[in-house]
């Protein structure tokens, strides 16, 4: 009888753990729905002529509108400092407009900055929050940006 009683002492512990897991999943559900969907994903890489200037501090930013004569706005919609393989994922809200561009930058060990800007196609956001290319009605393919020495941005 004692052995049978010992086996049942773990049942309340298992029930409490299962209840905790269930509660955690239910609490996280609204947060997942509130997450912003990524507008653009991709990776940035230094061009071969830039590699001897390393190590680098990579930076990628999403800006609204088109790049004008005034240059890049000071405050981006979203930005990151990619690490390792240079991958990034940037997001925007529905009120940020439909036209966007990316600024990719590498800062070298000598504190020189090299940039590249990439215009994105006109975008459209669905009711589900997914960003699509307005012309093709497809999500953007991941973008690969190679930064070279052609454009300094000090």
pLDDT in tens, 72-121: 778 888 999 987 888 999 998 888 889 999 999 988 888 888 889 999 99
Please check whether residue 67 lies inside any domain of the structure. yes
Reported as a single tens digit per residue, the pLDDT across 45-65 is: 888 887 787 788 889 999 998
| Mean predicted lDDT score pLDDT of the chain | 81
Mean pLDDT of 135-153: 88
Judge if 23 and 41 occupy the same domain: no
Please count the structural domains in the chain: 2
Which residue range is the domain that position 44 belongs to? 36-147
**What's the pTM?**
0.70
User: Are the C-beta atoms of residues 114 and 149 closer than 8 Å to each other?
Assistant: yes
Under the banding of pLDDT at 50, 70 and 90, the label for residue 14 is confident
Give me the sign of the Cα torsion angle 136, 142, 60, 88: positive
55 shares a domain with 93: yes
Question: CA torsion angle for 84, 142, 149, 110 (degrees, to 10)?
Answer: -20
What integer pLDDT is reported at residue 29 of this predicted model? 62
């Amino acid at each position: 009888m004692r052995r049978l009683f010992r086996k049942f002492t773990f049942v309340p512990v298992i029930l409490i753990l299962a209840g905790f897991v269930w509660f955690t999943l239910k609490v996280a559900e609204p947060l997942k729905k509130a997450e912003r969907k990524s507008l653009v994903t991709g990776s940035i890489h230094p061009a071969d002529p830039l590699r001897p200037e390393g190590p680098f501090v990579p930076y990628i930013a999403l800006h609204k509108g088109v790049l004008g004569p005034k240059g890049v706005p000071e405050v981006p919609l979203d930005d990151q400092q990619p690490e390792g393989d240079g991958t990034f994922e940037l997001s925007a809200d529905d009120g940020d407009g439909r036209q966007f561009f990316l600024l990719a930058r590498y800062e070298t060990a000598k504190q020189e900055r090299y940039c590249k800007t990439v215009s994105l196609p006109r975008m459209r956001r669905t009711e589900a929050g997914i960003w699509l290319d307005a012309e093709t009605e497809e999500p953007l393919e991941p973008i690969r940006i190679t930064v070279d020495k052609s454009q300094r941005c000090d």
